[in-house]
Amino acid sequence: MLAEDPRRRPEAGGGDERAEARQIVLAMITDADGRLAFANGDLLTLGGWRWGDVCGRIWHEVLIPPEHRRRVVHAFDRAVNGRDPAGCVEAPLRTSDGRVRVIAWSATPSLDNEGRPTSITSVGVDVTRWTEERDRIAAERDFDAAHDRLTGLPNASTFRWRLGSELTAGRGAGSFTAVLLVALDRLRAVVETLGHEAGDQLVCEMARRIADCVEAAVGVAGRRPERAAKPGAVAEAPPTWVVARWSDDEFAVLLPGLVFPAEAVHMARSIIATVAAPCTGFAADLRLSAAVGIAVAPLDGNNPTTVMRHAAIAQHAGRTMSEHLARFEPSFSREAEDRLLIEQQLPLALARGELSVAFQPEVDAYSHRIVGLEALARWHHPVLGSVPPVRFIPVAEEIGLIGEIGHFVLRSAVRQAAQWRSEGLGEVRVAVNVSAHQLRDHSLVGVVLDCLEQTGFPARLLELEVTESAAMGDSRPAADVLGELARLGVTISLDDFGTGYSNLGKLHRLAISTIKIDRSFLLEDDVNPAADPSALLHALVTLGRNLGLRVIAEGVETENERTALVTLGIRLAQGYLLGRPGPLPD
C-alpha cells in the first residue's frame, strides 16, 4: 500500500471535516487530579462527544489512544512544570468514531499560594494535516538518504548496513551470504557518444534487468526484494535479498541464506546474460557487457568491509576471464596489492622518465627484410623493475592515464623515426597503438599533426593501430577521428582482426588500410586436429586483399608458423621469431 498525499486525500464525514473548514481553537480545563472540568464546543464537536458523557472523567482516558497515553501524560507533566523549553505538546486525539487527529497543546497551570497547581488550562489547535505533510517530507528525506536518486535502488550505504545485518544474523546458521559486485563495461563510452541522458536511461534499464533477474531466480522461493519503493510504502515482510546501486557503473547484489556457494556463481551467469541482451530505443541498438566479482561469507570474510573488498578484487580478476566472472581467491589479494602499487606509481612514471618506447619489427616473411616497426610502451621502475605492458596498460585505462601514455609513445616514436630517416637509415613505416579513449578524443588529430609538423616526418610513413572493437563499435566519434587522420595522410591499421565483432558493412567504409590478423588464427601444433584453422586464416587474408588492404600476421613464434604463412601467401608478419621489441632494430 502506498501512502497518499495528505494534502489531496479526502476525509470522510464527521466533526473533523468541519474542523478543517475553519481555524478552530480547542480548550479544556482539568482539576489537580486531571479530571475534565471544562471543554469548549470545538473540542466536543471535534471529538463527537456530549459534555455530560465526559465531564469529570480523566482527560487522557477520554482524548488519548491507550498506546500513546504514557508518552503524552509525561510530556504534559514536563510542560506544566516548565521542564520542556518548547512548552508545547503534540498529542493524538481519539474521536468518538475511532479516528485520530493530531493536536498541538499548550498547558498553563493555575497555582495556589504554595505553588501547587489547582487546575490546568490547555489550549490546542488541530495540526493533523501539517504533521502528515511533515512526516511525508521526512519519509522522502529518509528514502532519498537510503536510495539512489536515479534508479530508486538502495544506495551503497544502505547496502553496507543490510550486509552487516545479514552477516550478524547469519553467524552460526550454517548458511552462506554472497555478495555479487556487477560492473557495467563500456558505459562511459555510451555517455561520451550519446550523452548523459542516454547514459542515465541505460543505467535505469540495467537496474531493472538485474533486479528482475534476481527476483526471477530467488523471489519465487518466497524471499522479498529490497528494490525501488515509494516513500510511505508498507512492507509486509522484511526483504532478504538486495539489489543496490554501488557506484556510477556498478551494482551490488546481496544473496543471504544460500545452501551452497555455487548458487552465487549461477546467479552471476544469469546477470551477465541479462545485461548482454540488446538495448533498444536508442539511436542504435546497444550491447553492454558486465564483469562480476563474488565474495561468499563467512568463507571470504565475516564483516562488510572485508567482503566488499574481496568482491571488488574478484571483479577485477573476472574482467580477464572468459566468463567475465570470478569468485574471490586468496591469490587475488596479492594481485590486487600489486595492482594498487602500479596504480600509485604509474602517474609518476612519466614525470620521472621511467617510460620508454621499444620497437618490434614487421618483417617480410619471404626475405626477412624489415618493412615496418611497431612502437610499444615500456616501463622500468627503480624498485619494481621491468613492468610488463599487460600489467600496467589495463591500469592506465582504468585510471584515465592511457591517453597521456599514448601521446607520449606517439611523440617518442615519431621523433625517433624522424631521426633515423635524417641519419639515412631509410624510410620505414612506424606503427603506434591508439586506445579507444584516444579515438573518442578529437585532440588526437591535433597531437598527430603537431608531431608531424615538428619533426618533418611524412604522414604516409605513420601508421596508427586501433583495436577491432574500438574502431567498429557504436562510437561515431571514433569513425570521425579515423576519417580526419586518414585525410592527413596517416595510414590506419586494424589490430587483432578476427577476434572482435567485425561488421563487414562498416569495414569497407572506415579509413582502414591494413589489417593485423591475431595470433590465434595461426597454425600451431596443439590445434584441434579436427579443425582446419588454415581455412579460416586463408578466408581472412582473402577478405583483406579483396578490400585492397595490407595483411600482417601477428604473433609468429615458430618456424612452422612462418612456413605456414608463406604457404598461404602471407608475406608480412610480426612476432618473436622475426624480432623482439627493443630500443633500436638491427
**Any idea what the CATH number is for the domain that residue 51 is in?**
3.30.450.20
Cell of 382: 627503480
SS3 content of the chain, % helix, strand, coil (to 5): 45, 25, 35
| 3-class DSSP assignment, residue 231 | coil
Average pLDDT taken over every residue of the chain: 82
CA distance 227 to 235: 12
The pLDDT, as a whole number, for residue 224 is: 44
Question: What CATH number does residue 480 fall under?
Answer: 3.20.20.450
The answer to whether 429 and 395 have CB atoms below 8 angstroms apart is: no
**Percent of the chain residues past pLDDT 90, beyond the cut:** 34
- Of 191-200, 490-499, 502-511, 547-556, the least confident: 502-511
- Of 129-133, 450-454, 460-464, 522-526, the least confident: 522-526
Rounded mean pLDDT of 103-112?
88
The pLDDT, as a whole number, for residue 112 is: 85
pLDDT band at 233 (very low <50, low <70, confident <90, very high): very low
Higher pLDDT pick, 22 / 59? 59
pLDDT of 145 above 60 = yes
Question: What CATH number does residue 160 fall under?
Answer: 3.30.70.270
Same domain, 168 and 307: yes
Residue 95 CB partners (closer than 8 Å, separation 6+): 14, 15, 16, 46, 47, 48, 101
Same domain, 321 and 406: no
Q: Which of residues 135, 163, 188 is at a domain's end?
A: 135
Residue 521 CB partners (closer than 8 Å, separation 6+): 498, 533, 536, 537, 540, 553
pLDDT of 308 above 70 = yes
Rounded mean pLDDT of 554-565?
86
Rounded mean pLDDT of 342-361?
92
The pLDDT, as a whole number, for residue 502 is: 52
The pLDDT, as a whole number, for residue 81 is: 76
394 lies in a domain? yes
pLDDT band at 84 (very low <50, low <70, confident <90, very high): low
CA distance 224 to 266: 19
CA distance 404 to 409: 9
Same domain, 397 and 516: yes
Rounded mean pLDDT of 98-125?
87
Q: How far is CA 342 from CA 377, 391, 406, in A?
A: 15, 8, 17
Q: What is the pLDDT of residues 485-519, one digit of tens each?
A: 999 999 999 887 766 545 555 666 677 888 888 88
The pLDDT, as a whole number, for residue 389 is: 92
Q: Which residues of 140-153 are buried (b: 16+ CB within 10 A; e: fewer)?
A: eeebeebbbeebbb
The pLDDT, as a whole number, for residue 431 is: 95
129 lies in a domain? yes
Same domain, 131 and 152: no
DSSP for 169-230?
HHTTSS-EEEEEEEEEETHHHHHHHH-HHHHHHHHHHHHHHHHHHHHHHHGGGT--EE----
Q: Which of residues 328, 361, 386 is at a domain's end?
A: 328
DSSP for 304-339?
HHHHHHHHHHHHHHHTTSTTSEEE--HHHHHHHHHH
pLDDT band at 82 (very low <50, low <70, confident <90, very high): low
Domain total of the chain: 3
287 lies in a domain? yes
pTM (2 decimals)?
0.56
463 lies in a domain? yes
Q: What is the pLDDT of residues 23-54, one digit of tens each?
A: 678 999 999 899 999 999 988 988 888 898 88
Rounded mean pLDDT of 370-378?
93
Same domain, 409 and 537: yes
Same domain, 492 and 556: yes
CA distance 332 to 311: 10
Cis peptide before 533 (omega within 30 of 0): no
Same domain, 403 and 473: yes
Same domain, 92 and 164: no
Cell of 576: 618473436
The pLDDT, as a whole number, for residue 424 is: 81
Residue 472 CB partners (closer than 8 Å, separation 6+): 494, 500, 501, 502, 503, 506, 507, 510
Higher pLDDT pick, 12 / 484? 484
Residue 65 CB partners (closer than 8 Å, separation 6+): 92, 94, 100
Q: What is the pLDDT of residues 514-537, one digit of tens each?
A: 888 888 777 544 444 445 556 777
345 lies in a domain? no
**Domain hosting residue 442, numbered range:** 350-573
The answer to whether 312 and 398 have CB atoms below 8 angstroms apart is: no
586 lies in a domain? no
Same domain, 458 and 367: yes
CA distance 266 to 252: 16
Residue 179 CB partners (closer than 8 Å, separation 6+): 163, 252, 253, 254, 255, 294, 295, 296, 297, 307, 308, 311
Residue 256 CB partners (closer than 8 Å, separation 6+): 166, 169, 170, 175, 177, 178, 240, 241
∠ CA 292-294-300, rounded to 5°? 160
The answer to whether 404 and 420 have CB atoms below 8 angstroms apart is: no
pLDDT of 191 above 60 = yes
Same domain, 323 and 368: no
165 lies in a domain? yes
Q: What is the pLDDT of residues 469-478, one digit of tens each?
A: 777 655 567 7
Q: Which residues pair with 247 in a beta bridge?
A: 250
Same domain, 73 and 165: no
Q: What is the pLDDT of residues 234-292, one digit of tens each?
A: 343 444 789 999 998 999 999 998 888 999 999 999 999 999 998 877 655 678 889 99
338 lies in a domain? no
Same domain, 384 and 485: yes
CA distance 261 to 264: 6
DSSP for 25-47?
-EEEEEETTSBEEEE-HHHHHHH
